[in-house]
Every structure is written in structure tokens, then in C-alpha cells.
Structure 1
Amino acid sequence: MTSLQHVSTISAPLPAPSRQPFALALSILLTAGLTGYLFNAQDSHASLVLLLGAALGITLYHASFGFTTAWRTFITTGRGKAIRAQMLMLAVAVCLFFPALSAGELFGQPVNGFVRPLSVSVLFGAFIFGIGMQIGNGCASGNLYHAGGGQLRAIPSMIGFAAGALWATRDYEWWTTQPSLAPVGLIDMMGVVPAIILNLLVFAAIAGLTRHLEKRRHGELERDDNGSDQPWSRRLLSGPWPFIWGAVALAVLNFATLALIGRPWAVALGYPLWGAKAAEAMNLGLDVDFWGYWLMPGRDTALMGGILEDSASLMNIGVILGALMAATLAGRFSLSWKMPVLQWLAAIIGGLMLGYGATIAFGCNIGAYFGGIASGSLHGWLWLVAAFAGSFVGTWLRPLFGFSRT
């Protein structure tokens, strides 16, 4: 969740969706057109992946659900309702994921979680990711839905993300030689029920700690009354959604991703491919085909194929289209590009750190934190600690680029 998200969260009555009929029609036509093209050019599976991404984009936009501002707000003001929403999201996710991952299949689809090593690359990558998300004013998923909502200021960060991710693929083999511990999967180690109970207790402890600290500092908890003056049917369609709606929806949609693709939702996986394709289009002569990252099974196929043949890229595009649709449904779509020069610089530098960090840390706040913890992998918790520490540093650095610390 970034500072740009404050634009999306308002308490005044919302304009009716019909205020932007042309933009709404265009967003629907774009989504329907690409869905139809994928169905004809590939298959129904590709179309469903795009639509699932669009559903995630609608959820992210309407709930203003993210991580950047949530963490920074807690660091600077002690307000923790967004972090408690993340704990709810994770609680719903582990209850859904753990039984399916233990069984190894879901609705006939083989499924695998993200269980990764506890490595120096996770520590360093997540740490610089945490810095990058604060000075760049957004994370991987946040930039996607901000861009879809008309915040074109997210594009420099996305470009930096793709460049940083490509750079990391060049260094990827070196990072794999650095010290690491074997992956630890709680599902295999403890069994499904004990692993779920342990995780729920940890989520409850974190939520309880944020409540205690917030009450001690402010005397009371901040209410999640986002759009509470609107009928629920209107809020569902046009937003804004309470955090609890977003938390549950994201957990369920991530579970749907597991069922459809066979793995959890992963935003950062698309960015190295985008960087590689851009380098190829610009004839930079990088010979990425011979870099160790791209020789791994699956990644070599992605590199040889097109962007629309890659499931991670399709979902990312879907998030942008879904956010566009949500913004027009809310009557709040507007193109915004102006930004001070220092903040342009921050977006690019932050994007580079996001891309490099996410690629060597086995994912971003979605793939490593959300997906890792939902998979029962301890590397997800290691990522969280390192990225939160990086957010402390990034929050302190923000004034250097003309941002406030809050």
C-alpha cells in the first residue's frame, strides 16, 4: 500500500459509476477483447488466468490493500489496522492452502507451494526490497494497480523493477552459492493441523501486539469504516471496501490461483521476463539465454515464448485491467503524471531495488511473503523480518527525495 493509495481512500460520498461511462466501457472492452484473443490464440486456461488477475486488480484497488503504506504507517504512527488485515488474509490463506498442499492436488490439478531456502539472498534481497518500496512509493502489485487506476507515476518504478530484475538474473548463480539453510516446510515437518494452529497463533500474536501498541500510543484503535456510509451493494461495485473484505478476497483469489496454475500468486515472476524482452527488443546484446537463471526449467520456456504465454505476466496485465475497471466503476479514474524530479529519481532507484531484491529473494511481498507463508515455508517469515527492517531504513530515507515519512 503506497502513499498514492490515499488518493483511493476517501470518506466523502462517491461519484456514481455512470459519471465515467466511456472509460468504463473502454476498460470492459479491453478486458473482454484480450480475453477473447487469448481464448482463440491459446485456450480457455489463458483467458481464465487473465480474468483472475483482473479480479485481483479490482480487489486491490477497491480495498486500497497493500503493504508499503501499511508498514510505514505502523512505523511512523503506530496505527496497525492494515497490518491486522494482512494477518487476517494470511490466516484465511493457510486454512485454505495447507490441506491442498498436503494432498498435492486441488480439483485434479497438481499443486506446489513456494518452499525456498533460508538464505543470505533472501535476507539481502528482502532488505533492499523493503528500502525500495518506501523510497519508490510502491511494491510490485501496488505499482500495477496504481498504473491501472491512472497513476502513471507508477510506470518509472515498474521500468526500474524490470531492469533491476533483469540485472538480478545476471547475478543469480552467484547468489545461489552464498550461505543458506535447507528449505523448511511446516506442513511436512508438523502436519497440516498443527501447522495451521501454529500459524494462527502467530498471526493472532502479531495482531494483538499491533492493537496493544496502537492503544498505548493513541488510546483507541482506528476504525475500518472505509465507505461505511454507502450501501453494501454500492460499496461492492464501486468501493471503497473495508480492509476485511480485501483480506478475505485476496486469500480466496490466491487459492483460486493455486487451483488454476498449480502454484500461489506471484507478481515478481513476470518482471525479469519483461526486462529480458525489452533488452532483446532494444538489441542490447546481453545474451540472457546463457545466464543461469534462464537455463532453469520453465524459465527457458518463458524466455522463448511471448509475454502473453507467461502466466505471471498475464496475471500482472489482468491486475492492471482490473484496477482500470475498478477505478472507472468508482468514478475515480484520472490520468496523473506530474511528479517532482526527485520523486522521479526515487521511483527509478526504488524500482531497481524492488526488482533486484525480489528476484534474488524468491519473490516480493506477494510471492515470498504472502505466498511463502501460505505455503508453510519459513523463508516467508525470514522475508517479512528483513523487508520490514528495510522499510525502517526506507522510511528514514524518504525525505531525501521530497517525501514525508508518514
Structure 2
Amino acid sequence: MTTANLNNESSSKVEDLVKRLGKPQPLLIGLGIILAIIVDILAFHYGGTQLGVQLWLGVALGLALFHSRFGFTSAFRRFLAVGNGEGIRAQMVMLAVASTLFAIILGTGFSFFGGTPSASVSPIGVSLVVGAFLFGIGMQMGEGCASGTLYHIGGGKSENYLTIVGFVAGSALGAYHWNFWVNDLPSFKPFSFATSTGLGYFGGWVIQMIIFAAVFFITLVVEKKRQAPKMAPIPTSKGWARILRGSWPVMIGAIVLAVLNAITLAVRNSPWGVTSAFALWGSKIANGIGFHPESWVYWQGEKGAVLHQSIFADSTSILNFGVIIGAFIAATLGGLFFFTKLPVKLMLSALIGGILMGYGARLAFGCNIGAYFSGIASFSLHGWVWLIFAMAGSFTALYIRPLFGMKVPSSDDRFC
């Protein structure tokens, strides 16, 4: 095939993808902006500028997630099923950029609003292993991880409205059982490549860069050996309009997410997290129907104060609302927000998957964001352990998905 033919074919593909975009949905775009303003006013009311800024960080995260379709669930599934490592490599780039920025922020103690930024470093034990494994199964059944569920809700993906119901319920149940899994079962102390080794943040950064490079290289070898199909293209636009209406290259999404997580660390003095808010929402609901979550070990001490406050005073809740709104605005700009009718099997899978993710995230000290992304960026060994067992859970789920009518990528596919 000549260069001219290749260019024509590439141009034709772009034109097809542009046609798949809908017209902007102005009423819904306006609704998204109004919702953002309302939530931001509430955030300012309860937490001042520091909390108000976090709403817009969440909006930016939602825009980046939707436009790049940045996936953790799909990336794991593609690599495990057919060897496509594009998504895993994007995650390594994201983690490399985030680790570099986190090292600077944590090493210097830089903060936009005062205080001392803290790393996300957690213990390694039975609860982490079991929780990450359950989360890996759940993310494949629920058609999305924690961040994926949020941005899919904003984008109108119907099954994820059931996923988040299960997520909230599972998170509350995990908080109820938290003492048994975390305190009664064996575990090792938190371990940081930076502070536990005595190497400092530069030494920890060097160790992690070697690991990132190794994983990046391994995915290339596996992909070539298995002759994996490519990632499916997504609807886009042309020129500058692509920033707001089209798809972003996944590597651009990776870098943007890394920078936004670093800014989040410097704004609220802790990295991006998602699922602690689900535990809060579920516990508040449990309290409303007659349970007493304030007696659970999970909510003892300073953490318990949030049970008696508005959810609009909770930092993680504000970030979550921002992600949903940001993805909603991104979807409506592309004319892509719509609901679909769901088969019963998919509805059941989404609900079960959400419960498993919610429960697993409490046991594992977080999800694909709080434990994996922010954990590894914080130089915590628990983030790498989470990845291993979440991948194991995802592999197990490849045999469960067909039972609920969900596809698993095949080597015969052109795209995955």
C-alpha cells in the first residue's frame, strides 16, 4: 500500500469517528455547569477556598478521564486476555510522572494551603490481598473501576448507575467488617521505597523508575509475541475542537491525570482517593435506616467526625462529584450522553461487581486510585501488591464475564 493510500485510509477513519460524535447538547451542558456551580458554592460554604478548589480539580479529572477514556479495568482485561499492553504502558507513564511530582512535593513539604502533605502508605497483609483480589473481580463484573464508575456515570453509561449502588453498599459493609480484616488478621507495617529504605525520595524514585521501565518493556514483549489486536478507536473531532469534543491520546490523558493528582496532593495534603466517600455515603444511609455506624471500629477517632457532617464538607465526596460533573460536561459536549436498555444479566453483574469493589476497597485501603495510583505514586509497596492481586482477580473474572453475557477480547478481534 502506498503512502498516499495510507494517508487516505487514516483520513477516512478520522472522518468516520467525527461522524460518530453527536451534536453538542446545550441544555445538558448548561445543566452540568449549573451543577458544578451549586456544588462549588456548597464546598466553599463548608470548607472555604481549599475545598472549593477541589471541586474544579474533580471536574478536570472527569474531563481527562472521559476524553482519554483512560481505563484501568479495560487495560487489565485487554492485557490478560489478548496481550494488548497499550493501557498498561499508559499507566506506567502516568505513575512515572506522578512519582516524580510526588517526590518533589513530599520531599519539600510543598502545600498550597499550608500544612504538611502526607503520602498514601498502608500496611501489607491479608486484608490487602483479599481486598485487591475481590476488587479485581468486581471491576470486570461492574464494567468499571472506582474512577471508571464515576466518569461512566457522568457519561451516561447505564449499567454503572447500578454499579455505584453496589459500590456504596459494599463499602459500608466493608467498613462494618473492617476491624476483623485489618486488626484481627496478620499484616506487616507500611513500607515506603523512600522512607523505609533510608534512600530518600530520590532513591525511591530511582527504584520505581526501574520497575516502570521493566513493566513497560515486558508489555511490549508480550504484545509482540501474542500479536495482540489494537485498542479500538473512539469518537473524536479535528483541530482545536478535539480538546473539548474529541478523544485525547491515552498518553496525554496519563500525563494530565498524573499532574492533576500531584496538584490534588498539594491542595488537600493527601493524594486523590475515591472510595472512602462511598463508605461515608453508605454508612450515612445505614445510620438513616437504624444501624449505628458510629460504633464500628472503622469510624472511631477523628475519622468518625465526618459521620455527623454534611457530605459537602468531605473532601473525597467533593472530588467525586467533580469527576461525575466533569465527565457529564465532556460527554454532552460530544453529544454522547444517552441511556441504553440493559439486559437483566448485565444489571445483576453490575450490582454484584459494585458490591465486590466496595467491599474490597475497604479491605485493601483503597481502590485503583487510592491504593494503586496514589499508593505507588507515594512510593508505597502496598500499591504494587494491590496491582498484583487485582490483576489476579481480573484474570479470574475473565471466566465469569461470559456467564453474564459480557464479552472477553479474543486474539481474532481486530480491535480490543
Does the pair score TM above 0.5? Answer: yes
Measured at CA, do residues 102 and 224 of structure 1 come closer, stay the same or move farther in structure 2, by a change above 3 Å?
Answer: farther
Deviation at 1:14, TM superposition (A): 5.2
Give the structure 2 partner of residue 158 of structure 1. Answer: 164
CA contact (8 A) 1:14 1:330 kept: no
| 3-state secondary structure, aligned to 1:87 | helix
Alignment of 1:124-139 (within 5 A): 124-139=130-145
Tell me the TM-score normalized by structure 1. 0.92
Amino acid at match of 2:269: G
Task: State whether structure 2 residue 78 is matched by structure 1 residue 69.
Answer: no
CA contact (8 A) 1:120 1:180 kept: yes
Supply the distance in 1 between the matched residues of 2:353 and 2:76 (Cα, whole angstroms).
16
Supply the distance in 2 between the matched residues of 1:150 and 1:97 (Cα, whole angstroms).
33
Across the aligned residues of Structure 1 and Structure 2, the Cα RMSD in angstroms comes to 2.0
Structure 2, unpaired ranges of 5+: 1-13, 410-416
CA contact (8 A) 2:236 2:245 kept: no
Residue by residue over 1:111-136, the C-alpha shift from the partner in whole angstroms, topping out at 9 and shown as x without a partner, is 00111111110000000100111112
Task: State whether structure 2 residue 313 is matched by structure 1 residue 309.
Answer: yes
Deviation at 1:328, TM superposition (A): 1.1
Give the structure 2 partner of residue 404 of structure 1. Answer: 407
Alignment of 1:232-251 (within 5 A): 233-251=240-258
Measured at CA, do residues 10 and 254 of structure 1 come closer, stay the same or move farther in structure 2, by a change above 3 Å?
Answer: farther
Supply the distance in 1 between the matched residues of 2:126 and 2:40 (Cα, whole angstroms).
41
**1:58 corresponds to which of 59, 63, 82:** 63
Structure 1, unpaired ranges of 5+: 1-8
| 3-state secondary structure, aligned to 2:275 | coil
Deviation at 1:156, TM superposition (A): 1.1
Give the structure 2 partner of residue 3 of structure 1. Answer: none
| 3-state secondary structure, aligned to 1:187 | coil
Give the structure 1 partner of residue 206 of structure 2. Answer: 197
CA contact (8 A) 1:224 1:243 kept: no
Residue by residue over 1:349-395, the C-alpha shift from the partner in whole angstroms, topping out at 9 and shown as x without a partner, is 11111000000100000000001100101000000001000000011
Supply the distance in 1 between the matched residues of 2:158 and 2:284 (Cα, whole angstroms).
21
| 3-state secondary structure, aligned to 1:106 | coil
Task: State whether structure 2 residue 18 is matched by structure 1 residue 13.
Answer: yes
Supply the distance in 2 between the matched residues of 1:160 and 1:316 (Cα, whole angstroms).
16
Amino acid at match of 1:270: A
CA contact (8 A) 1:15 1:330 kept: no
Alignment of 1:5-404 (within 5 A): 12-13=17-18, 19-40=24-45, 42-107=47-112, 108-175=114-181, 176-188=183-195, 189=197, 190-218=199-227, 222=230, 230-231=238-239, 233-281=240-288, 283=289, 285-297=290-302, 299-336=303-340, 338-404=341-407
Amino acid at match of 1:216: K
Supply the distance in 2 between the matched residues of 1:212 and 1:252 (Cα, whole angstroms).
29
Tell me the TM-score normalized by structure 2. 0.90
| 3-state secondary structure, aligned to 1:43 | helix
Supply the distance in 1 between the matched residues of 2:24 and 2:178 (Cα, whole angstroms).
49
CA contact (8 A) 1:87 1:206 kept: yes
Measured at CA, do residues 150 and 229 of structure 1 come closer, stay the same or move farther in structure 2, by a change above 3 Å?
Answer: closer
CA contact (8 A) 2:235 2:246 kept: yes
| 3-state secondary structure, aligned to 1:110 | coil
| 3-state secondary structure, aligned to 1:31 | helix
Supply the distance in 2 between the matched residues of 1:113 and 1:310 (Cα, whole angstroms).
19
Amino acid at match of 1:250: L
Identity of aligned residues (%): 43
CA contact (8 A) 2:272 2:369 kept: yes
Amino acid at match of 1:137: E
CA contact (8 A) 1:149 1:324 kept: yes
| 3-state secondary structure, aligned to 2:177 | helix
Supply the distance in 1 between the matched residues of 2:120 and 2:399 (Cα, whole angstroms).
32
Supply the distance in 2 between the matched residues of 1:31 and 1:352 (Cα, whole angstroms).
28
CA contact (8 A) 2:24 2:335 kept: yes
CA contact (8 A) 1:226 1:242 kept: no
Measured at CA, do residues 42 and 99 of structure 1 come closer, stay the same or move farther in structure 2, by a change above 3 Å?
Answer: closer
Measured at CA, do residues 211 and 10 of structure 1 come closer, stay the same or move farther in structure 2, by a change above 3 Å?
Answer: farther
Deviation at 1:335, TM superposition (A): 2.5
Deviation at 1:90, TM superposition (A): 0.2
- Paired residues in the alignment total 392
Supply the distance in 2 between the matched residues of 1:241 and 1:353 (Cα, whole angstroms).
31
